[in-house]
Amino acid sequence: MFSEKIRAGNRTYFFDAKKAANGKPYVKFTESKWSSKDETRTRSQLMVFEDDLEKFAKAFARVFRTVNNPR
């Protein structure tokens, strides 16, 4: 459906909007990290499904605001 990629040093982040086999949307977050020490690439994924997307977005926004506006 839609994909966005961010490169950040030895890491690459992918944000993908997808549709499950049942047609329901979900978001997949992937972190791909390169280690020059042992020349390996690791990949971690998180999938957030339709029923939890709004809760996830609100929690992320709260964390983002806290990081950008420390007291």
Residue count (the chain): 71
Which domains are assigned to the chain?
Answer: 2-68 (3.10.450.700)
In the block, which residue shows the tokens 């459906």?
Answer: 1
Give tens-digit pLDDT for 3-32: 999 999 999 999 999 999 999 999 999 999
Q: How far is it, in rounded angstroms, from Cα 49 to Cα 18? A: 10
What's residue 1's pLDDT?
Answer: 87
Single pTM value for the model: 0.80
Give pLDDT, residue 20.
94
Q: How far is the C-alpha of 1 from the C-alpha of 18, rounded, in Å?
A: 5
